[in-house]
Structure 1
Amino acid sequence: MAPSRDFYDTLGVSRDVSADELQRAYRKLARRYHPDVNKDPDAEERFKDVSEAYDVLSDPEQRRRYDAFGPDFRQVPPDMDRQTWARARAGAGAHGGGRARRGGGPAEHVYSGSGDFGDIDLESLFGGMFSGRGAGGFGPVPGADQEAELEVSVEEAYAGGRRTVTLSGPNGSRTLEVTIPPGVTDGRRIRLSGQGGRGSDGATAGDLYFVVRLAPHPRYRVDGRDITVTLPLAPWEAALGASVAVDTPGGEGKVRVPRGTSSGRRLRLKGRGLPDPRGRPGDLYAEVRIMVPAEPSDEERRLFEQLAAVSTFDPRRQP
């Protein structure tokens, strides 16, 4: 098994990084490794690593637990301190470890992180340490947290909503209602309290986290909270300027096309990207693509020929 990644190293920041510096580092790396921008075979996996690291470190409580317990922080019971956990880990090493279940793929396959207590005989693993409070025991142990991926459309990410999800596992299938918050971004985690691994001796269950993955979209490209959409224009609209309609996840918008616009120019609609309940929404960018008739009519051909005869414009000799 590969060694656990350090979330601070993943984002290239120090352990005392501020919230603003953390956000800037994440946005820079997310733009660099987003699969829609970076076609390197490893970029998508790197993007997921960056998103997971930011998701944990941007949450003050999760960051506190990560700083205290490291990669095991999701498996540590809420009321356990560092010293007690270290002793439990040492006991696990002395008695031999259990094999943690781990899987991937769509939401139908649930997996837990390393140290899933649901797969381990705690009594034999820790030599009776979990059998009771007496003689240095810890008593019942809460269940481990688990994760599953949840694919959502750009429209769902924009507006939010509810989704019924069926999960299958070794103990059968179960159906859950998941609330998708408006403005959720790729890599963010949605928590379902008490729906994770079962605890021992009647202890509380862990939590289930759905990791959001934005589905590819035929029109929209998403980068963080910003959205890019292609804007087809006729040659005369680009040359003379126009006000044209553009599709956005929140409905139709209007964009003003300046005179002399060329293909590739990005026109911004401020605040029309993914919303942010805690801050400024993203922007929507309409990327111009000039289109010409595939089969011009006789009149259109005549006009284009007339333009070609009188125009001194040479697109290959731009200043």
Structure 2
Amino acid sequence: MRIRSVVALVAVLSLAACSGDTGPLSTDVLPDQPAVTQTAPPAETAPAPNCNPRASLRPAGSLPAPGDMPAGSYMETIRKRGRLVLGTSQDTLLFSSRNPFTGKIEGFDVDMGRQIAEAIFGDADKIQIKVIAYDKRVSSAADGSVDIVADTMTANCDRWQDVNFSSIYYEAGQKVLVSSSSKAKRIEDLGGQKVCSAAGSTSYENIGKVKSSKPVIGVAKPAFGDCLVAFQRNEVQGISTDDTILAGMASQDPYAKVIGPRFTEEPYAMAMSQAHPEFARFVNAVLARNRADGTWKKTYDKWLGDFGAAPEPPKAQYQ
């Protein structure tokens, strides 16, 4: 079992102010952002563009050999630089969190990035992790601050306007975490109460769409680790995000439980700049290979196997 103690969790959270490096390569950590408490946005928002957010760019063909990237491609630019820059968080348990014993950021999402680095260099360690806030995931990919973002990021039509997404690599759905003594059975039972989620996440937006007798009060924090601290201090009555992330939180807190059915679909994809469509095609070729050769399943078993047998990986859809 990969369940750590609550003390270890506190160590992870206390390290959040440290550098975001996972190895000898240099790194750049963004400063913490102030928390915001407000009612989550209402459901009456402008309609999203009509698209299939799961459909990505089709791979161009077979993968080039590691170290031999096509001339003029963005993959060649990355190879010449000597490292892939991955944007992610450092406190999303099981997906991208700092190991309190090694100081390295690790998890399912980090391994997704490492697999791209391995395909480019033949060496998964040639990766630099840049810790980014949840509400900077789209902008960091769009402006080239990072090469790729893998950070429990839902592909949706609004975001497709600003970035290219890979094919879907994980299927999640939103639930809510509450105190083990709570009488609530689902998020609708938390009307009039405070529920925390990360600023800039679709999870936070979805809180405002919950129909209950009283509006659920959305509380936005810079990261889900901050939500967990607020929950443990009784500043909020719940945390709402994707089910697997919540399961990781609940494994760290014996006084918490995850309730209710999934009330959203959250297809995870990696985000990249639209300036380099060949890179998105390359990433999709790596994902296709990893689905076929069992790498995806091994990655699932490594990080999420405590929650049961690995499902079939999400099938790729292309434009």
Work out which of the two has the higher radius of gyration on C-alpha atoms and give 1 or 2: 1
Alignment TM-score > 0.5, same fold: no
TM-score, normalization by structure 2: 0.25
More strand by share: 1
**Higher relative contact order, structure no. (Cα contacts within 8 Å, ≥ 6 residues apart):** 2
